[in-house]
Structure formats: C-alpha cells, structure tokens
A and B are shown apart, each in its own frame.
Chain A
Amino acid sequence: MTAYVIDHENVKALLGQLIQQQENARAIDWLQQRQELQQTAPLTRDFLQTFTAMPRFTGKQPVKPVTEIMEALEKAIPGFFVYDWTLDRLARVWWMLFIPAAEKSIYVNQVEALFNGAEMNELAALYSALPLLAYPEEWIARTADGIRSNIAPVQEAIMLHNPYPAQYLPEAAWNQLVMKAIFTEKPLNQIYGLQKRSNEALAAIITDFAHERQAAGRPVNPLQWQLLTNFLSTANFPDITRLWQSAYNVEKEAAALVCYHSNYPPAKELLASAPYLADEINTGSLTWDKIAATINLS
C-alpha cells in the first residue's frame, strides 16, 4: 500500500517552486538550510522547531500567485487552493511533505505531535495541508475535532476551499461541518463539495434550523436552501413556497434556483409561474454564486 494518494513528489516540487517565486531571499535561504539539515541529520526536535519558527524567517507576506503553478496544483489535487495564504502557511504545508511516510506509525505520530502543540496559525496550516497528507483516512477524527474549534481561522482552514472534508468525512461529520459553517457565518459557496455531499439528513436539519430561526425572529441565510434541492418533499416544500412569496428578491431567487435544479414536479410548476426567473437561470445571470455575492454586499 502506498502512503500517499497524491503524486507526492510532484506536489512537493510545485509548492517548492511557488516558494522560490516569492522573491524572499531570507526565507528561501533559511528553508534551504533547514531542508539540508532534515535530509542529512533528521531529528524530530529540529523538524518541529522548523515548523514552529517558520514565520520568524519567512514573514507573513501574502503568497503571490503564479498561474502555471496554481493550475498544475489544481490539476494534481482538485479543489486544492493556496490563493489567500501567507508565505508562512505555504512553507509550513510544504514542510509537512518532508515527514518520512514509509512507516505509518512514525508518520502518524509526527503529524499528531504537530497538531497537539499547535497554535492558531499552525493549526490553520495543518488543516490546510489535509488534502496532501499521507494515510488520509487517519485524519478523519482530527478533522471532525477541528470543526468543533471556536477559532475562526481554524474553522476556515477546514471548511473553505479544502477538498479533504468532502472526500473523507462520514455523513454525520460532514453535516456538522456544514451546520457549523452556517452558524459561524462562513461563505457557504466556498465549501468544496457542498452540493455533491448534500443528503437527506442534512436537508431535514437545515429545514428544522430554519424554523427555529424564524420562531426566534432571526433571518435565515438564503444560500442554505440549495441543500434541499435533491430532497424536496411534501414536508419541506411549504418552506420553498414561503420563500418564493418572500418580499426579499434574494429569497425568491433562492427558491427559483432550488426549483430549477430539482426534479420534484411541484417545484417545476412553481417555477413555471415566473418564467423570467427560469430565463435568468438559463442564461447564467442568476446563480448561487450571484446570491452569495449579493448577500455579502447588501
């Protein structure tokens, strides 16, 4: 069994090239030294210290994107995203790829040691690295645990632009991720695999949650209704109808998108009553991304 599910050498080289392109001589020199040390006399203590001390030497400048490298990374790991990272995070994620992976227990212990002593930015880097780690099934419990964090940057590292959770989390943990993202007001459209991992249990939770908020006189994020698309029924369709009748355009548009993408016959009928909305969806001028942009700007 191979430890990695990704092309490890290729990804390591790509991240290394991206670091090289950041025009930060001090960081590059130091990383070069630490890399040589790691290859000639590998000591756990030095490895951990390099990871921890990273920002002292790399600084925290935003990563400058290099299109060819970004595209190659996206090809190697669909959904993997480094656009809004800082250099210390990029270097830490790259550094993770130096952990010897041949022996599973050694590898797992090393990664666990990093998690156990990590502060906020280290945790964000560790969770960002999830899609690149060897033995991917080993990090499921760790990810579920990270979703329970109350620290926004840590939540974001797991929830947003990260392909690992959609690929590996079991349904209950995935649903917890989505609900926590809603509670903590994350941009839902940035959750990788949101539509693909929608499920009946989550649709029921979302509907109950919407009712609770309505009872408390609190608004409901219209993006969450997309999770009902494939699970419309007599139980939840009244919610879509109510949305359709809402005074807020954005809510009516959300209802239209749900109906458009659903195969539920009453939904098709409802949508037929406002053909202009179906047209907007057909022409691509009305999408969930557009709704996401609207609610962030309103």
Chain B
Amino acid sequence: MCGIHDLTEQDLQPLAHSPAYLDKIKGMKFFDPHVHMTSRTTDDYQAMADAGVVAIIEPAFWLGQPRTGVDSFRDYFSSLVGWERFRSSQFGIKHYCTIGLNSKEANNEKLAEAVMEILPQFIYKEGVVGIGEIGFDDQTALEEKYYRAQLELAKEANLPVQIHTPHRDKKQGTRRSMDIALEHGLDPKMVIVDHNNEETVKEVLDRGFWAAFTIYPFTKMGNERMVQVVKQYGSERIMINSAADWGISDPLAVPKTAALMHESGIDSNDIHLVTYKNALTAFAQSGQINESDFGVVTDQSEKFNGSTVLRGGQQPRINKNTTIIR
C-alpha cells in the first residue's frame, strides 16, 4: 500500500492474447546477436521478452542522420553501454554490444580519425563483446583504411569482429572482407560475417568464418529462404538475427524464424544452434558473456508491494486494449 506504483503480480505478467506462432516456440530461449534497440520502443522489448528473447547484441552503427562531431559518437557509445543496457534489463533481456566505426561514416575522414581516438576507451568496457559492425558499404579506400585499423584493435584486445557486408556488390565485398581479415592474421573463428545470403554462405563457411543471416523484409533474407539454407547447410557456424532498426524490420525475426523452422520439420537441436547457441559460442570468446545473466527478471520470491518489486527496475505491464490509461 505504500509504494508509488503499487504493482500486483498481475501487472508483471505477459498479456493474455498471444499470437499463434508463440505456441510453437513455447519454452525456447533466443539470442538475437544483431539488433539496433536504440531505434526501437519499449513495446518491442516487451514483445521480445514474451517471445523468449533473453539476450541481444546491439552493434554500433549509423543512426540515419550523419553525425558531425566526435561527441555524438561518444554519447552514442555511452548509450550502448549505459542507458540502452539499463532499459533492456527492465524487460529481463541481457544487452551486450559491439563497438566500432561503421563503414558509412568511415568516409568522413576527419571525423573517423577522431572516433578512432576514442574507441580504446570503449572496447574494454564491460559487456562489449566485439568490434562491430565494421567493414564495407561502398567499398571505398577510406572504408578499407578504417576497417583494417579496427581489425588491429580487435586483435590487440582479443575481441571477436562483427562484419557488415555491403548490399551492393555483395559477393565481392564479402570475399574482400574475409581476405583482409585473414591478411591481418585474424582467426576466422573470431570473425562473424553478417548479412549473408544464398550466394555468399558457402564460401564463408568453407573458409572457417561464422555465417550470420539477417531476417529483414525486402532487402535481406526472408525466413522461408532461411529455412532452405539451414536444410542445405545444416546448423554449424550459422546464426540468425533481426538487425531490426529504424527501417521496416522485425525485432521478433529470430523467434518467428524458429517457429517456421519448427513447422518445416527442422530438428530442434539445429534450431537451438542457429537461434541461440552459435551466437553465444561466437561472442562468448570475448570473455564478456555469462549465460546465467540471461533473461534475469525480478526475483519472484520478492514481495510485489513497496519498493522491493522493482529491484531489477522491471517495468509494469499496461493493457493496450483499453481506452483507460491510469
């Protein structure tokens, strides 16, 4: 009776109506190793938690609007290890990030130099599980310069690398990204090549790299295609992610694809590998992931009254199907 919010146990329960696909994946846990939560709402966090997402990685990328000063980068990196991580924890989702200078903004040389100066201050922070997402966009000389410089940083810090492969001239760009990583002496086991498709996957796997697939409408992979990829290539070193961001994208892409795989008769162990375990194995090489932190929500032994209920900062549920707002 004395707390400000006066939550009851019911306020913290998932909403009663759940989409049919959730039944197929009931009890499964998911790890989405690429999602830009900075651009998403709290509703997405709740929906992800309800669908079984227990951990995510947010790679540093561009924000749509080009940045004009290094302080904007500093604040963005701080937000990835600070505010966004805290926001995520309120929904019981463990938030990690990769830190890096993205390929688009690598083309602003003066800014890129300044960003390279501050990167060492961030890559050693808690929960930073890699350098990323870095690589090629337009495949310019400046993109290559900063890609190489960041591979060196990754090597020095012994951190995995999360590579963004370009939309245009993808096959060549992917090959070149791998060539350069090997040239710098990186172990392919420490490199996650992202945004693969049917055309790139074979070479990536053959050369010993991790192959990540982004389930993203229109521009990247659809999940029916993804089912076929897993049927053909199996589950070894393959992982999927949503890369949900400020575009038309789906933060539930990983659980939805798991449901579709289940429906398509893919073995549940394979589903577990591509939607959870492989991402964990790859990024845990950073030494920064503790699986026991995943999906930690309020300790149910705590009383649901007074201040103790919000110990983890968990957020109350609201009923969206009513016109009443309290």
A interacts with B: yes
Decide yes or no: A121 and B126 within 8 Å by CB, A186-B307, A298-B1 being known contacts: yes
- Whether the pair A219, B124 counts as a contact (CB closer than 8 A) is no
**Once bound together, how far apart are the Cα atoms of A52 and B121, in whole Å?**
8
**B121: which of A117, A121, A220 is its contact (CB, 8 Å)?**
A117
**B307 proximity list for chain A (CB < 8 A):** 185-187, 295-296
**B82 proximity list for chain A (CB < 8 A):** 118-120, 123, 151
Tell me the minimal C-beta distance from A121 to chain B in angstroms.
6
Scoring A residues 168 to 201 as 1 if CB is less than 8 Å from chain B, else 0, what string do you get? Answer: 0000000000000011011100000000000000
Tell me the minimal C-beta distance from A41 to chain B in angstroms.
17
Chain B, range 62-114, C-beta contacts under 8 Å to A: 74, 78, 81-83, 85-86
B3-11, B49-57, B195-203, B216-224 - the one binding chain A: B3-11
Is residue B120 within 8 Å, beta carbon to beta carbon, of the partner chain?
yes
**B86 proximity list for chain A (CB < 8 A):** 120, 150-153
**A56 proximity list for chain B (CB < 8 A):** 124, 126, 287-288
Is residue A45 within 8 Å, beta carbon to beta carbon, of the partner chain?
yes
Is residue A221 within 8 Å, beta carbon to beta carbon, of the partner chain?
yes
- Whether the pair B126, A185 counts as a contact (CB closer than 8 A) is no
- Whether the pair A219, B6 counts as a contact (CB closer than 8 A) is yes
Decide yes or no: A55 and B126 within 8 Å by CB, A119-B85, A152-B313 being known contacts: yes
Scoring A residues 234 to 268 as 1 if CB is less than 8 Å from chain B, else 0, what string do you get? Answer: 00000000000000101000000000000000000
Tell me the minimal C-beta distance from B293 to chain A in angstroms.
10
**Once bound together, how far apart are the Cα atoms of A295 and B313, in whole Å?**
18
- Whether the pair A151, B83 counts as a contact (CB closer than 8 A) is yes
- Whether the pair B81, A49 counts as a contact (CB closer than 8 A) is no
**A53 proximity list for chain B (CB < 8 A):** 124
**Once bound together, how far apart are the Cα atoms of A153 and B126, in whole Å?**
15
Is residue B285 within 8 Å, beta carbon to beta carbon, of the partner chain?
no
**Once bound together, how far apart are the Cα atoms of A48 and B117, in whole Å?**
13
**B235 proximity list for chain A (CB < 8 A):** none
**Once bound together, how far apart are the Cα atoms of A120 and B124, in whole Å?**
14
**Once bound together, how far apart are the Cα atoms of A48 and B86, in whole Å?**
23
**Once bound together, how far apart are the Cα atoms of A45 and B156, in whole Å?**
15
**B74 proximity list for chain A (CB < 8 A):** 116-117
**A48 proximity list for chain B (CB < 8 A):** 121
**A250 proximity list for chain B (CB < 8 A):** 2
**Once bound together, how far apart are the Cα atoms of A116 and B78, in whole Å?**
9
Decide yes or no: A219 and B121 within 8 Å by CB, A120-B81, A151-B82 being known contacts: no
17 inter-chain pairs at a CB distance below 8 angstroms, sorted by A residue, are A49-B120, A55-B126, A56-B124, A117-B78, A117-B118, A117-B122, A118-B82, A119-B78, A120-B85, A122-B125, A152-B313, A182-B4, A187-B307, A219-B4, A250-B2, A295-B2, A298-B1
Known contacts A116-B74, A187-B307, A297-B303, then 16 further A-B pairs from the complex at CB < 8 Å, ordered by chain A residue: A49-B121, A119-B85, A119-B127, A120-B82, A120-B85, A123-B82, A150-B86, A151-B82, A185-B5, A186-B307, A221-B2, A222-B2, A250-B2, A295-B2, A295-B306, A296-B303
By Cβ-Cβ distance, the 4 closest A-B pairs, closest first, are A119-B81, A185-B307, A295-B2, A53-B124
